Structure formats: C-alpha cells, structure tokens
Amino acid sequence: MMGRMKTALRRVWRREDGTSSVEFVMVFPIFLFALFWSIETSVWMLRATALERGLDMAIREIRISTQNAQPTYDELKEIICDGAGNLGGDCFSDLKLELQRANPRAFAGLPANADCVDKSEPIKPAVNFNPGQPNDLMLVRACARIEPLFPALHVGNAMKRESDGGTALVAISTFVQEP
C-alpha cells in the first residue's frame, strides 16, 4: 500500500505540466502592481505639472496685467483652474490659496504645512490672502486636494493624507508687485 502511494507521489512530482501556471500566478501580481503604481505616479505627476502651470499662468497674468485692479481670491482661483486644465474633481472647490508678503532682507517663507481644503469640513475662508503693495515680494501657495486613482494600492502612503483619503498637491511661486 505504501509502495503504491510513494510511486504515485513520485510520478506527480516528476510531471512538469502546469508549472508555468504556478509561475504566472506568483509573478503576475507583481507586474500588475508595478503597472498600476506607474500609472498612479504618472497621473499624480501630470496633475502636479498642471497645477504648477496654472499657478504660473496666474502669476504671469498678475505681473503683466495692464489693469491696476488686483484679482480677488476667487478670481485668482479661477485663473489658476483655467490654466491648470483638469486636476481631477472640482478644481475651484478643491483649491486653496495663500498669498503673503515676504521681506527679502529677513526672509521667513510660508509655514511648512500647507492648509488644504478638507472635503469633510465646510469650506473655510482664505487662510492668508494679502494682495500686497507696489514693489512687495509676494509668496503664493496653491494647495489642491486630489483623489488617488487606485486608493487600494496605497501608493501615496508617503504623502500627507487626510481623513477623506485625499492627497495634498502643493505648488509655490513668487512675484514682485508692479507699481
């Protein structure tokens, strides 16, 4: 009885059909994860580039504007969203701006933590929006809340995540107020 069982087991272990399926089952999830990870990273980089472009377009509009009127908070957000294209979601409600005067001789910069829109809370007014005076050095920070494409992969674990699962996307720029 034991001899027949040993012979049958030995025959099963020697067979090679089906071995490629085992290899496929072990290796394919790794390739699939790498594919989704690269797609998520690419989309995140496209959104970051779009936000940077939108902010640069808005700053250029402010600098070369022939009008003497300073744009309001909402107008600046609209210019940024128009220049950024599709950030995913509602750009106007997902974007928060900080505009503050900086002293070039005693530079302090913006606070380290960007204040972004938290979708779980009602919309808060602008944190620090000071349009400045002529010849002032101005710092602008745009912070947009974006949703990951594949949240189950936890690709953005190293990024700051909020309770709603969104990730903060931050762009910073500077300009000098023209007289």
Nearest Cα neighbor of 99 from 144, 134, 129, 75 is: 129
Looking up tokens 């809370």 gives 121
Look up residue 56 and give its two tokens: 């640069």
pLDDT at 128: 63
The rounded Cα 4 to chain-centroid distance in angstroms is: 63
Question: Please, which residues bridge with residue 177 across strands?
Answer: none
Compute, in degrees rounded to 10, the torsion defined by CA atoms 155, 95, 93, 48.
Answer: -40
pLDDT of the residue at 124: 47
- The pLDDT value recorded for residue 119 is 46
Tell me the sheet residues that pair with 143.
96, 170
Low-confidence ranges of the chain (pLDDT < 50): 118-124
Yes or no: say if 82 and 59 are a contact pair by the CB < 8 Å rule. no
Judge if pTM exceeds 0.85: no
Write down the pLDDT at residue 1.
66
Give the residue extent of every domain in the chain.
Answer: 15-176
Per-residue confidence (pLDDT) for residue 46, from 0 to 100: 92
Q: How many Å apart are CA 102 and CA 149, to the nearest integer? A: 36
Pair 87, 146: CB distance under 8 Å: yes
* Torsions phi, psi for 98 (to 5 deg): -125, 130
Contacts of 141 (CB under 8 A, 6+ apart): 97, 98, 110, 114, 170, 171, 172
Q: Which residues does residue 139 pair with via DSSP β-bridges, in sequence order?
A: 100, 174
Residue 95 contacts residue 119 (beta carbons within 8 Å): no
Q: Is the separation of the CB atoms in 37 and 149 below 8 Å? A: no
